[in-house]
Structure 1
């Protein structure tokens, strides 16, 4: 059988004050943006709304695709969409132990570079960005 990719979606949720939504994952304690595996029959925008709500309690309006990120070691292709919060209340879930609105500086302090860049790319515009990583570090463009 030939190798296959998994597709995930994530929301770079930005408040009007510039703070970014982040969750602390329950399985490994890392800080990331909310997201997860896209269901086979699910449109990407629906998957983003579902994953953000499930992991953080926040409803979002999906604005635009800001980046495509490939984990070459795990075979995961992540689609990241900039979103605007539209309701809900921050809450943890089975998948998150903390939900916080971080400044861009706090994002770079708490997240590994492969996750921080997804939020920073969404803030910076000029996307969508296309990047590859090995699960820990960004890989140079060849």
Structure 2
């Protein structure tokens, strides 16, 4: 199923769902950030996804990272909250979502890096290489908040 992301676009469809989601900035020992190239839109993104009814947001981030990358992680902090109503995600199945995302900082505790059915590539990216990749600006915002505001969390 393909998806299209809109931001502050008057032609964006009206949302028909609100989804609570978690994502994580996972770094390796060199400070490189784990990104996945999404199969549904071919853009690079942080691992993450929707929270299930039986879990907390940190548990959702841990599960999503495991499912999408094969890595086990430990949550170490909060990057921020991302609730901008101008960000709309439309799927080819008719769902048009407004997403409420909590982004965490995390470190690797185990597992083995492996591609899931949601991605075509996984890569640890050095901060100075981020501009070379196709990344939606809402994802870049989270990454920049991680890199620039390590002592505070973004609230938005």
* TM-score, scaled to structure 1: 0.83
Give SS of 2:83's match. strand
User: What is the total number of aligned residue pairs between the two structures?
Assistant: 129
2:18 paired with 1:8: no
Gaps of 5+ in 1: 132-142
Q: Which residue is equivalent to 2:152?
A: 127
Gaps of 5+ in 2: 1-15, 89-96
Root-mean-square deviation (CA), in Å?
1.5
Measured in 2, the distance between the counterparts of 1:101 and 1:50 equals 19
1:31-50 pair list within 5 angstroms: 31-50=44-63
**Residues 11 and 33 of structure 1 are in contact (CA less than 8 Å); yes or no, is this contact kept in structure 2?**
yes
Q: Which residue is equivalent to 2:139?
A: 115
Measured in 2, the distance between the counterparts of 1:106 and 1:46 equals 30
Measured in 1, the distance between the counterparts of 2:130 and 2:65 equals 17
* TM-score, scaled to structure 2: 0.76
Bigger RCO (CA 8 Å, 6+ sep): 2
**Residues 11 and 80 of structure 1 are in contact (CA less than 8 Å); yes or no, is this contact kept in structure 2?**
yes
Measured in 1, the distance between the counterparts of 2:114 and 2:42 equals 16
2:77 paired with 1:64: yes
**Residues 9 and 37 of structure 1 are in contact (CA less than 8 Å); yes or no, is this contact kept in structure 2?**
yes
Find the structure with the greater CA-based Rg. 2
Measured in 2, the distance between the counterparts of 1:46 and 1:67 equals 16
Measured in 2, the distance between the counterparts of 1:128 and 1:44 equals 16
Q: CA deviation at 1:106?
A: 2.1
Q: CA deviation at 1:112?
A: 2.3
CA gap of 1:71–1:26, structure 2 versus 1, over 3 A, is farther
